[in-house]
Chains A and B, each alone.
Chain A
Amino acid sequence: MNRELPGQVLGVLVRRGADFAAAEDAVQDALVEAVRHWGSAVVGDDSPGANPSPEGEDPGASPAGLPADLKAWLVTVAWRKFLDARRSASARALREVKVSLRPPPGQAEQADDTLLILSRCCHPALTPASAIALTLRAVGGLTTAQIARAFLVPEATMAQRISRAKRTVAGERFGTPGDVTAVLRVLYLMFNEGFTGAPGVDLAEEAIRLTRQLTAAVPDDPEAAGLLALMLLHHARRAARFDAAGGLVPLDRQDRSLWDTTTIAEGVGILQQALARELLGEYQAQAAVAALHDDAATAAETDWPQILEWYDELLALAPGNRVAELNRAIAVGHVDGAHAGLRALETLDAGLPRYDAATAYLRELAGERAEAARRYAAAAQAADSVAERTHLLKQAARLNENSAGS
């Protein structure tokens, strides 16, 4: 099944006047019905590792007897489920739902629906974790079990989190499509959660899929395009980010022949079109930095002066972006020398995450190996993932080993 269907069906119901939480339940019920009729293949097999196609929408694999227009079928069934629930809940409530069956939506309406549902799922009243979970279920078409696996929590916990999130947004005004900025932020965070190792669930790919849907809904928004470009330009390096043992490989040591050039080309194309609109934003600026890294055949060929310019742009747009401040200091180190980079670091708060790692990097660039090793060891203490901690310890070990031998 096309994984965009649940979100589209939900959009139709909401536009007809159904309240969000009840509509979402009705769509899930309709999906269950579909599975009963045509087997689990109709919604993509949910068992771990049993879904060989990451897209889960192989049109050639449609089970026999599937209706020609599955979406229309789902809309009809979901609407009936919604009305049934309403009827049993309260006859009066039903009278208040002044809606009628409408013809299937045209493309423009479908785009509106996508944005409508996304902006509801990414409502600022929700915490990022709740917004991500709700978006994955309502728009991404993932089951609660899959989302629970992705976040490494029990299914009952995730079910509760989603139902609380639905209650939170149920009372919010929901007439016009909401804030694209909030949607972009949630999708960015979802992408950053990345690959948690749960079989069959890949949050980075889900985020890319959802951002594609969003850019189709708001084709004139350069930041939505910028975010999609940013994701693609990072995702393209994924195969090179981990070694055979699962260890983290930093950008300057990656085997660049493993980078996905097709994805890079797509990301660059999307970014160029976005930049041509001359409405620069944070995501476009970050994507530009990623594109410059992707463009270098070797780490030594990296165009650091241009990267530094983009970090300056980025910080002008988002003065409080601490990650950008640290990265800018690294860029300064490459453009004006390691000591200039260290001076740029000195102006920042030493308590920032990865401050020690950035210092260590620049100390090594300055040839101060012992101090670099000491800083890498300190950075390892403060690392917030096992992969990063191991990587930083190895950096310290590498420097200590060489200085001990000399």
Chain B
Amino acid sequence: MKYLMLKHYRGGPEAHPEFSAPMDRWTPEEISAHIAFMDKVADDLRERGEYVDGQALSPEGTFVRYDGEGRPPVTDGPFAETKDLIAGWMVIDVDSEQRAHEAAAYLSSAPGKDGKPLYEWIEVRPFLAEPPVVE
């Protein structure tokens, strides 16, 4: 079963009371520790044969839509402060939803300021799969 784990710059449920200050208020060592942990999560998932893909996204982005034949596309952005904003994703292929939640919680335990967990919300979305062969 494949799951998409989404990290948000903003737009998740209400933040944990101990959610860390912005990263530029951490120490350089805390930033390094955070990055090293994120790399370790990906390595651990690879090791278990569960990692599929992952990518970080720029906070700069735009909404675009078709506006009729021969007209330039409509754009809305950069994102207003209130809009949901995805920071990155990781795709995993795991045996159960429970295992997907476990992986997401592990990701969310990444250390932040003073080495304390970030308590960051991770959105977990199952992929729609192929229909089974046996009817």
- Taking a contact as CB atoms under 8 Å apart, the answer to whether B28 and A381 are in contact is no
B75 close to chain A: CB less than 8 A: no
- Taking a contact as CB atoms under 8 Å apart, the answer to whether B35 and A245 are in contact is yes
- Once the chains are docked, how many angstroms separate the CA of A376 from the CA of B59? 15
B1 close to chain A: CB less than 8 A: no
B28's partner among A377, A383, A386, A401 (CB-CB below 8 A) is: A401
- The answer to whether residues A394 and B32 also contact, given A373-B24, A376-B24 and a CB cut-off of 8 A, is yes
B56 close to chain A: CB less than 8 A: yes
B26's partner among A373, A376, A397 (CB-CB below 8 A) is: A397
Which residues from A are CB-within-8-Å of B32?
Answer: 245, 247, 394
Which residues from A are CB-within-8-Å of B56?
Answer: 386
Q: How large is the interface on B (under 10, 10 to 19, 20 to 34, 35 or more residues)?
A: 10 to 19
B95 close to chain A: CB less than 8 A: no
B25 close to chain A: CB less than 8 A: yes
- The answer to whether residues A393 and B23 also contact, given A382-B60, A384-B58, A398-B28 and a CB cut-off of 8 A, is yes
Q: Which of A127-172 contact B (CB under 8 A)?
A: none
Interface residues as binary, B1-39 with A (CB distance below 8 Å gives 1, 0 otherwise): 000000000000000000000111111101110011001
Report the minimum CB–CB distance from B92 to chain A (whole Å).
Answer: 18
A287 close to chain B: CB less than 8 A: no
Report the minimum CB–CB distance from B33 to chain A (whole Å).
Answer: 10
Residues of A in contact, count (CB < 8 Å): 20
Which residues from B are CB-within-8-Å of A397?
Answer: 23-28, 30-31
- What are 6 of the A-B contact pairs (CB < 8 Å)? A393-B23, A394-B31, A397-B24, A398-B28, A400-B25, A401-B27
Report the minimum CB–CB distance from B96 to chain A (whole Å).
Answer: 28
- Taking a contact as CB atoms under 8 Å apart, the answer to whether B36 and A245 are in contact is yes
- Taking a contact as CB atoms under 8 Å apart, the answer to whether A390 and B35 are in contact is yes
Supplied contacts A381-B59, A397-B24, 20 more A-B pairs, CB within 8 Å: A245-B36, A245-B39, A247-B35, A373-B24, A380-B23, A381-B60, A382-B58, A383-B58, A384-B58, A393-B23, A393-B24, A393-B31, A394-B28, A394-B31, A394-B32, A397-B23, A397-B25, A397-B26, A397-B28, A397-B30
Report the minimum CB–CB distance from A401 to chain B (whole Å).
Answer: 5
A396 close to chain B: CB less than 8 A: yes
Report the minimum CB–CB distance from B59 to chain A (whole Å).
Answer: 6
- Once the chains are docked, how many angstroms separate the CA of A386 from the CA of B56? 7
Which residues from B are CB-within-8-Å of A245?
Answer: 32, 35-36, 39
- Once the chains are docked, how many angstroms separate the CA of A245 from the CA of B36? 7
- Once the chains are docked, how many angstroms separate the CA of A394 from the CA of B32? 8
Interface residues as binary, A348-390 with B (CB distance below 8 Å gives 1, 0 otherwise): 0000000000000000000000000100110011111010001
Report the minimum CB–CB distance from B35 to chain A (whole Å).
Answer: 6
